[in-house]
Structure 1
Amino acid sequence: MSLLTKIISRKIVAFFAVASFSALLSSTVNAYGQSPEEIAARIAPIGNVCIAGEECEVASAAVATSDGPRSGEDIYGTFCTACHSIGVANAPKFGNAGDWAPRIAQGMETLVSHAINGLNAMPARGTCATCTDEEIESAVTYMVENSQ
């Protein structure tokens, strides 16, 4: 069998596989009574990739739909506690004045900048893609106030 014949055969097999899947999908739609729109909504991706420097629609929507700024305690409890409660990757532990003293000495502006932009093992915004700068600052203030 020539290379061209093999390629054509594979394309024909692929075509029939897609056609068979489409027929199966059509019968599934009818069997469960779901419209194509309902199926598309059900199997839609749960997230999007955001590229630095471009607007991220998912994060913007999440911030826009919130009921206002979250407290520093809420942000800490949701996003920061995983690392700062036990000192993951040398993160300063919440409530440990010795861990925080050299960082506090750098000033709040530096601490907030590190939290927003990331530093060492800490990712930018500490994994809170939906946090505003003000919410990040509030979380840093909460940690500092409780760690002196």
Structure 2
Amino acid sequence: MSDAHNEQQSAIKTPKQLLAAVAGFFLVTVIGIILLVQFVTTQKLTGAGSDSQSPEAIAERLSPVANEGFTFKDASGPKVLQSGEAVYTATCVACHGAGVAGAPKFGDAGSWSARLAQGYDTVLKHAIEGLRAMPAKGGNPDLDDVEVARAVVYIANASGGKFKEPEVPAPAAAAEGASAPAAEPAK
């Protein structure tokens, strides 16, 4: 074996150096903790000109989707009937605007002539109950029969028909039934 000794020498040779090393270690540790706490507690940095982290922007992103552009209808109140043009624009234009699935195009007198010859009542019945690829009420079950009738008149008259605007039933009969007092309970 070898007589050579492998001595490891420390960089700290005196107690003064040891004290300086320990103090330096604690100083670096404390500064690191302070910087970490400061980083965590300060506001987040955003890009220049960005207000995406402002309280208003955050509240807007977290607001319910239903608050944007939707209105709630009073189900117990009287229904406001739409015009024929409004019903056509909201429901019928999807198929009758482009002639999808054999639907006669809006304003095309040639494709509507055979249907208009059947008469108003038949065309209205087909619109309310559905016919071939067209679902009942154009796929909008919320439509009232009067609204469907208005849409039929609007579409037919734009395509050469001479149908008369339907009369709206008096809402008084419905209101009387709704406002009638409840029956007395049996004693």
> What's the Cα RMSD here?
2.0
Q: In the alignment, is residue 110 of structure 1 matched against residue 122 of structure 2?
A: yes
Q: Once the 2 structures are TM-superposed, how far is the Cα of residue 65 of structure 1 from its aligned partner?
A: 5.0
Large movers: runs of 4+ above 4 Å = 61-67
Corresponding residue of 1:140: 152
Counterpart position of 2:59 = none
How far has the Cα of 1:128 moved from its partner? Answer: 1.4
CA offset digits 1:6-55 (Å, max 9, x no partner): xxxxxxxxxxxxxxxxxxxxxxxxxxxxxxxxxxxx8xxxxxxxxxxxxx
Query: Which letter does structure 2 place at the counterpart of 1:120?
Result: R
Structure-2 separation of matches of 1:125 and 1:65: 22
CA contact under 8 A between 1:87 and 1:93: conserved in structure 2? yes
1:70 aligns with 82
The two structures have a TM-score, normalised by structure 1, of 0.56
- Whichever structure has more helix as a proportion of its residues is 1
**Distance apart, 1:125 and its partner CA:** 0.5
Distance 1:117 1:126 in 2: 9
Q: Count the aligned residue pairs.
A: 89
What percent of counterpart residues are identical?
A: 45
In structure 1, runs of 5+ residues without a counterpart are: 1-41, 43-60
Q: What is the Cα deviation at residue 139 of structure 1? A: 0.2
Which of 1 and 2 has higher RCO (CA within 8 Å, sep 6+)?
Answer: 1
Q: Which residue of 1 aligns with 2:107?
A: 95
Larger Rg: 2
